[in-house]
Amino acid sequence: MKRIGILKEEGQQKIAVLLPENIKQLKEITDVSVVVENGLGDAIGISDSEYKSAGAIIALNSKELIQVTDIILSFSRVCDSEHFSEHKTFIGFFDVLNDFSSVLPLKKKNTDMYSLGLLPRTTMAQSMDVLSSIASLVGYKAVLLASSLSSSTVPMISGAGGTLRPAKVIILGAGVAGLQAIATAKRLGAIVKAFDVRHASKSDVTSLGAEFIEVEGAIDSASAGGYAVEQSKDYLNEVNKVLDAEMRTADIIITTAKIPGKRAPLLIQEETILNMKSGSIIVDLASETGGNSALTEKGITITTKNGVRIVGTTDLLADTAKSASFVIGNNFTSFLKHYLKNHVNEEDEILRSTKVLTNGIVTSERLVEEIENY
């Protein structure tokens, strides 16, 4: 029987990677026992007694949990490796491409480690796609945050005092987060325009009722798995010219453009920001990897001398922790089912792609050189 443990998150993260209903699903299809850390669901209103009713055992703390389990789940937390000596398997959503600090405590220890942040973009892995689940929630929340901060109304409103024009919203990046932001802004009644270097995203943007901002000459790559790739300097200069004209009249800008393992592309120049309207709002969802705006500061909100507010928040997911736990719990459950069925198959594409450590040695081709040389 496999013994699965679920760690409670620390800091801003309030997510429970498995909910009671997920535990019931696992126990119905496979012979497992599940141990959860005391208070796992407190932040999202789920008590230990609900986990007990689903068949889970409650551990007093993380040390006890690790000692009695084989497979340890968390969203981003990794415990001190001194807590265990026998072989353990860690599964989480570790952002190892941008920050491999989560790997270091487990290096050269008797552990395997999987990160759902490395999932291949395949049909089989779709139900496990934590990144897409997170992006959708964050894209939605970003628009609501920007709307609440704006001193202007978003929809057109007509009344005795006249007619208020709808807000002009620009979305930079038309991946999952960007498309959800477009859909949310349209539902609120905004005039929405969007830009993405991937021309194939035009149909997605227009299908949601937004206008696609065209800039010809982008580099695209079939091997990038649907992500954007780095662009030439000449192309980025042309992008800056086109976007500058659009952003000077915008009320709200949501930026979502990221490149896995690299600094976020700079799409809003300082000069553009200093020529934007007073009261304009920029919510930069790429702040953790440098930001799409030249003046973004990670984790804080600033107001420029001309009155533009730039939000570099990194905790929007925590603001939707209950919904996030629901979708992420389903993603982790799907991955666990696949892992328990296929973990002995070294050729399995999903497990091979997501595996970071094997017996404490870095085996991920995307990380081995960088981490081993750390």
Q: For 304-322, what is each residue's pLDDT tens digit?
A: 999 999 999 988 998 899 9
Q: What's the DSSP call for residue 218? A: -
Closest among 277, 284, 208 to 253, alpha carbons compared: 284
Q: Which domains does the chain have, with CATH numbers?
A: 2-128+324-372 (3.40.50.720), 150-316 (3.40.50.720)
Paired residues of 33 in beta bridges: 3
This prediction's pTM: 0.90
- Written as one letter, the residue type at 38 is N
pLDDT tens by residue, 187-240: 999 999 999 988 889 999 999 999 999 887 766 644 445 555 566 778 878 888
User: Which residue, chain included where needed, has tokens 């930079």?
Assistant: 172
Is the pLDDT at 95 greater than 50? The verdict is: yes
Residues involved in catalysis: 121, 126, 129, 132, 227
**pLDDT mean across residues, the chain:** 91
- pLDDT band of residue 82 (cuts 50, 70, 90) is low
> Are 253 and 172 spatial neighbours (Cβ–Cβ below 8 Å)?
yes
Tokens coding 66: 């690790």
DSSP 73-137: E-SS----GGG--S-EEEEE---TTT-GGGTGGGTTSSEEEEEGGG--SSSTTGGG-HHHHHHHH
